[in-house]
Amino acid sequence: AQSVTQLGSHVSVSEGALVLLRCNYSSSVPPYLFWYVQYPNQGLQLLLKYTSAATLVKGINGFEAEFKKSETSFHLTKPSAHMSDAAEYFCAVSVQKLVFGQGTRLTINP
């Protein structure tokens, strides 16, 4: 069975600082991995996806994630946080359905 663990339900960074959101997955087969973002009262929007083409994946809004098989991790990073990045972020693994982590709420301090 596939599962996802997101470390830290709430992360707070200063504007301009590095954003690091952690995600570890469990999968018995090579996984497909996704990061989604959710703004208040909205649905989910895809930030990026890993489907085995490259271990470093670049997404929208300056985000990127690195797939590390040895660590079963797929952490999301952004070099410089912007106020508009404040939202909830979900890591997900898929085989025959999307299995989501519990989410990390990102707060940006001015």
Partner 1 sequence: KAGVTQTPRYLIKTRGQQVTLSCSPISGHRSVSWYQQTPGQGLQFLFEYFSETQRNKGNFPGRFSGRQFSNSRSEMNVSTLELGDSALYLCASRPGTGGVWDTEAFFGQGTRLTVV
Q: Is 98 in the site for partner 1 (CB under 8 A)?
A: yes
Total residues contacting partner 1 by CB under 8 A comes to 22
Q: Is 7 in the site for partner 1 (CB under 8 A)?
A: no
| Kind and range of the H or E run holding 50 | strand 44-50
Among 49, 62, 66, 77, the residue binding partner 1 under the rule CB under 8 A is: 49
Q: How far apart are CA 87 and CA 102, in angstroms?
A: 14
For 63, counting Cβ atoms within 10 Å of its Cβ (0-12 exposed, 13-18 middle, 19+ buried), the class is buried
Among 34, 35, 67, 89, the residue binding partner 1 under the rule CB under 8 A is: 34
Among 13, 23, 76, 99, the residue binding partner 1 under the rule CB under 8 A is: 99
Contact 63, 22 (CB under 8 A): no
Using CB under 8 A, list all residues that contact partner 1.
32, 34, 36, 41-46, 49, 51, 90, 94-103
